[in-house]
């Protein structure tokens, strides 16, 4: 009798081993290979200068980032490629990557004063931390400014509309103390600003003028509310990025988050989130918030700074020539 025999149990054990060991290994290899192939299928990017000289072609996003960081071509050359008219490669590139016509878009004619000079190249500083604070100015901003002063650290504030005298005064303080102001959003209502590219531009322009009128400074960098790619802007984020890039603005997401926007955030959770994430980071763009309800964040900032200094990091503010850390490249 085979069933119930020693041979039967041997075979049974083999069968079970195959199912619990070999099948998962096989599946892992299969999916890992597939993932690798998906990564390889990044759309090529071709960069041409204004005189149509080919600077680089068939780049993957990784090659592109690498060349960009080495200064092999400038953002202006990229913008020229995106910007130039006629049936050239840049027009194709633009359509391919943004699925929109590169010219005669009504929103491109809006706000002719909403342009800035794009950087000629990006730089990368190793072992550097960029602290960034979103959703201010608020009463919490001043305390953060004082802590930053104490350690002689410069940071970046992506601001929202706060027309109170205190709000405008804080914007001036941010500038006076040598930090960078970036645009976040005037109304910070995702349902409004991500309705269309027009709606995004309207809100951006309002925030831009709010900062300009209060400080005399024209912001050159910005951060999307919710990050550059979020569930509210899926259908239009590429068009917004293209339009803001065309206007010379550089945007920054983050690679380290304190997760302090969460209502359950505590001193410990914010501190640990950041320290853990900076462990092996060569440079860190840290997302924190200085909105009116972010008192907990204020209590963490000084300890974070102390610990990160101890780990050998230096701090800097973002300027538009710092190589962006972003979620949604123009792939």
Where on the chain is the footprint of Zn ion (CB under 5 A)? 134-135, 225
Least separation, in Å, of the C-beta of 206 and Zn ion? Answer: 15
Q: How far apart are CA 82 and CA 242, in angstroms?
A: 8
CA distances from 222 to 10, 73, 178, 252, 327 (A): 66, 22, 17, 6, 14
Looking at the Cβ atoms of 293 and 331, the one nearer to Zn ion is 293
Looking at the Cβ atoms of 68 and 208, the one nearer to Zn ion is 208
Do 171 and 181 touch, CB atoms closer than 8 A?
yes
Least separation, in Å, of the C-beta of 233 and Zn ion? Answer: 13
Rounded (10°) CA dihedral 261, 208, 108, 195: 30
Least separation, in Å, of the C-beta of 138 and Zn ion? Answer: 12
> Could you tell me if residue 127 is left (phi over 0), alpha (psi between -120 and 50 degrees) or otherwise beta?
left
241 exposure class (CB count in 10 Å sphere: 0-12, 13-18, 19+): buried
Nearest alpha-carbon partner for 275 in 265, 266, 286? 286
Looking at the Cβ atoms of 225 and 284, the one nearer to Zn ion is 225
**Tokens of residue 72, six digits:** 């092999």
Looking at the Cβ atoms of 135 and 290, the one nearer to Zn ion is 135
Least separation, in Å, of the C-beta of 59 and Zn ion? Answer: 32
Helix/strand/coil for 47: strand
Least separation, in Å, of the C-beta of 184 and Zn ion? Answer: 6
Looking at the Cβ atoms of 225 and 324, the one nearer to Zn ion is 225
Looking at the Cβ atoms of 119 and 182, the one nearer to Zn ion is 182
Q: How many of the other CB atoms lie within 10 Å of CB of 11?
A: 12
Least separation, in Å, of the C-beta of 15 and Zn ion? Answer: 55
Q: Which helix (H) or strand (E) holds 241?
A: helix 237-246
Least separation, in Å, of the C-beta of 185 and Zn ion? Answer: 7
Residue nearest to Zn ion (CB): 134
Least separation, in Å, of the C-beta of 297 and Zn ion? Answer: 13
Looking at the Cβ atoms of 219 and 225, the one nearer to Zn ion is 225
3-state secondary structure labels for all residues of 245-261: HHCCCEECCCCEECCCC
Q: How far apart are CA 84 and CA 91, in angstroms?
A: 7
Looking at the Cβ atoms of 134 and 253, the one nearer to Zn ion is 134
CA distances from 38 to 31, 34, 74, 257, 330 (A): 10, 6, 28, 27, 16
């Amino acid at each position: 009798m085979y069933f119930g025999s020693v041979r039967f149990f041997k075979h049974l054990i083999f069968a079970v081993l195959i199912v619990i060991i070999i099948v998962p290994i096989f599946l892992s290899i299969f999916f890992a290979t597939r993932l690798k192939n998906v990564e390889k299928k990044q759309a090529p990017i071709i960069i041409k200068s204004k005189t149509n000289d080919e600077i680089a072609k068939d780049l993957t996003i990784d090659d592109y980032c690498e060349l960009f960081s080495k200064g092999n071509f400038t953002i202006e050359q990229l913008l020229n490629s995106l910007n130039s008219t006629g049936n050239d490669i840049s027009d194709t590139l633009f359509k391919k990557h943004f699925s929109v016509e590169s010219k005669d878009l009504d929103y491109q004619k809006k706000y002719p004063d909403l342009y800035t000079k794009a950087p000629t190249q990006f730089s990368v500083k190793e072992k550097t931390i960029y602290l960034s604070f979103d959703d201010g100015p608020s009463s919490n901003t001043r305390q953060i400014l004082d802590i930053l002063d104490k350690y002689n650290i410069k940071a970046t504030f992506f601001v929202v509309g706060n027309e109170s005298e205190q709000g405008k005064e804080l914007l001036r303080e941010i500038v006076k103390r040598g930090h960078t102001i970036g645009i976040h959003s005037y109304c910070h209502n995702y349902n409004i600003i991500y309705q269309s590219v027009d709606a995004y531009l309207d809100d951006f322009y309002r925030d831009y003028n709010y900062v300009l009128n209060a400080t005399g400074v024209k912001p050159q960098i910005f951060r999307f509310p919710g990050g550059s790619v979020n569930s509210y802007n899926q259908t239009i984020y590429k068009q917004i990025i293209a339009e803001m890039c065309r206007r010379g603005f550089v945007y920054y997401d983050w690679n380290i988050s304190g997760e302090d926007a969460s209502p359950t955030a505590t001193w410990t959770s914010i501190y640990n989130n950041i320290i853990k994430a900076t462990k092996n980071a060569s440079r860190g763009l840290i997302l924190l918030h200085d909105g009116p309800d972010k008192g907990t964040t204020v209590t963490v900032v000084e300890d974070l700074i102390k610990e990160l200094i101890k780990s050998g990091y230096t701090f800097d503010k973002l300027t538009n020539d710092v190589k962006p850390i972003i979620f949604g490249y123009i792939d």
